[in-house]
Amino acid sequence: MKGTHLGEFQEIVLLTIMVLDEQAYGVSIKREINEKTNRNISRGALHTALSRLEEKGFIRSKQGEASPDRGGHPKRYYTASNKGIEALQEARTLREQLWNQIPELKWQQPYA
C-alpha cells in the first residue's frame, strides 16, 4: 500500500526504538544509532524520521518527565505500535525471501 512503505533509515529508527524498549526518546535513540550503525545522524534528521513514522502510524509517543538537565523541558518517549511491528516483520520477511533466492554460487567471491 502506498504510504506504508518503510524506508531504510526509518526501519533502523523503528528497530532502535524496539531495542530501547521503554527508554526510547530523542537522545537515547540518537546515541544508540550512532554507536551501533556508526552513522553520525543529526537530531533534526531523526526528528524527520520520527514524525514520518508517527504519521504512518508505526509509532506512538507520550510526554515524559522534565529534568534540570534539559532546561526544564519534558522528554518525549516513543514506542512501536502494532502496525509498526507488523511493518518491521514484513520488511524482514521480504529480505529473507530475497536472500534465500540468491544461488549459493554467488557467495563465492572470485579473486583474480
Partner 1 sequence: MPDKRNHIPALYQILFKWFCRETIYAELQGDLEEEFHLNVEKYGLVKARNLYRKEVLKMIRASVVKVPSMIVKNPVKLSLLLLNIKLAFRNLFRHKAFSAINVFGLTAALTICLFFVNLIFTGFSLDRQYENLNSLYRVESTVTSKQGDITAMATTPFPSVAMLNEDIPDFDMVCHVRNSAFAIVNVNGIEVELNGLEVDPAFLTLFNLEVLQGDIKDVFNDFESIAITEEVAQRLYPDLYPIGEVTEDGKVIRAIIATPRAHSHMRYEFIGHLNIPISTADTPSFAYSWNAYYDSYTYVLLNGKSDPKALQERLMQFGNKVNRLSGLEQQFSFSIRPVKGIVFSEPVMNEIGTVFGREGLVVFITTILVMLVIACFNYANLSIARAIQRTKEIGVRKVSGSTALQIIGQILIETIFFSLIAPLLAIGLYYYLKDEFIATLPFFADVFKPELSLTIIGVFIFFSVFTGLFAGFFPALYFSRIKALSLFKQGGAKGQLTFLALRKVIITFQLSLSMFTVLFTLLMYQQVAKLAGESQGFETKNRLIVRAESKDAQLLKPAFLTVPGVEAVSQTSGIPGTSINMVESFNELISGDSSIEVQFLLADEAFDEVLEPGLLDGQFFTGKRNSPNKPMLVNRAFLNLLNIDFNRAIGLIIKNKKSSFQIIGIVDDITMGNPFIKTEEAMMIINAEADRSQEVLLLKLEANNLRILTSLEEKWKEILPDYRFEPEYLETYLQKPLTEFLNLVKAEGLLCLAVIAISLLGQVGMALYNAETKVKEIGIRKVLGASLRSIITLLLKGSLAPLIVAIGIGCPLAYFAFINGITPDISSPLKPKPWIFIQGVLGLSTVIILLITSQTWRIAKQNPTESLQAE
The residue range among 9-17, 22-30, 95-103, 104-112 that interacts with partner 1, by the rule CB under 8 A, is 22-30
The number of CA neighbours under 13 Å toward the Cβ of 21 is 0
Both ends of the chain: CA-CA distance in Å? 45
According to the binding rule CB under 8 A, does residue 39 interact with partner 1? no
Is 47 an interacting residue with respect to partner 1 (CB under 8 A)? yes
Residues 6+ apart with CB under 8 A from 76: 25, 26, 61, 62, 63, 64
**Closest to partner 1 by CB, 39 or 95:** 39
d(CA 13, CA 53): 9
- Asked whether position 68 contacts partner 1 by CB under 8 A, the answer is yes
Identify which of residues 39 and 47 has a Cβ nearer to partner 1 in the complex.
47
Site string for partner 1, 75-94 (x = CB under 8 A): xx------------------
**CB 33 within 8 Å of CB 13:** yes
Query: Residue 22, SS3?
Result: helix
The residue within the footprint of partner 1, chosen from 9, 19, 26, 81 (CB under 8 A), is: 26
The count of chain residues that interact with partner 1, using the rule CB under 8 A, is 22
